[in-house]
Amino acid sequence: MIRALKDTKIPQMVSTGLYTEKALDVAVDMVDKMLDVLVSSVTDILNDIKNVNTPVAFVFRKPNNDFIAAAMVQFFPNEDKSKPGNWNYSWTFEEEDVPEDAQTKTMYDFSLISYFTGTAISKYGFYADHTEYYGDTFIFLLQTIKLWLDENAAENEENGVSLDGVIQFRVAIENGEKVFSAEPDGEIKQRIKNDAAIEV
């Protein structure tokens, strides 16, 4: 069963956890908006830095450097050289899915803060000017979503949480193993051109 983010305990878990662990005040009804800012901004960053020769990845890690998730864009040329290749945009909870040769970015890259502040202001009239605020908030948010998925994994049933028009996170048990996945919504994916009118 796929539930809307606002219909789960995740917003409360994030709000309470950020306050008690990070001394950050994020209201429960802001959590879905923060996820929108996160995914939208990361999508825009990857679209702007994508490279036909090298995969690019935005990587999220816990403070102890443990991997949480990543968003990636990679160009695949068409076997028919007369036709354009395509960009593959994906999210993952598995570190091995990130190409070894990927150019990587993180939440604590100060040069990227304008993407997050710009999206937050234009969409929700919200402003914070500290890279650490976005980094700590978004990493904790993704960490909490994965924890919720882990706790809600069930045999013979796919469970998940979604933010309509933005992203969907899912978990299933396959051969006794929990399999986590994340899929950006079609509308978000369209920001990264599927077809590249580029001669490679």
**Tens digit of each residue's pLDDT (9 = 90 or more) over 18-44:** 999 999 999 999 999 999 999 999 999
Q: For all residues of the chain together, what is the average pLDDT? A: 91
Tell me the CA distances in angstroms from 77 to 147, 150, 164, one per residue in order.
37, 36, 31
Taking the whole predicted model, whether its pTM rises above 0.85 is answered as: yes
Phi-psi region of 176 (alpha: psi -120 to 50; beta: other; left: phi over 0): left
Local structure of 8: helix, strand or coil:
coil
Residues ≥6 apart with Cβ < 8 Å to 150: 171, 178, 180
pLDDT in tens, 137-173: 999 999 999 999 999 999 889 999 999 999 999 999 9
Q: Taking 60 as the threshold, does the pLDDT of residue 2 lie above it?
A: yes
Tell me the CA distances in angstroms from 89 to 23, 71, 72, 154, 181, one per residue in order.
34, 7, 6, 28, 13
At residue 194, the pLDDT reads: 53
Q: Where are the domains of the chain?
A: 10-156+187-196
pLDDT in tens, 67-117: 999 999 999 888 887 787 889 999 999 999 999 999 999 998 989 999 999
**pLDDT band, very low/low/confident/very high, at 190 (cuts 50, 70, 90):** confident
Do the Cβ atoms of 27 and 42 come closer than 8 Å? no
At residue 131, the pLDDT reads: 78
State how far the Cα of 3 lies from the Cα of 111, in Å rounded to an integer. 35
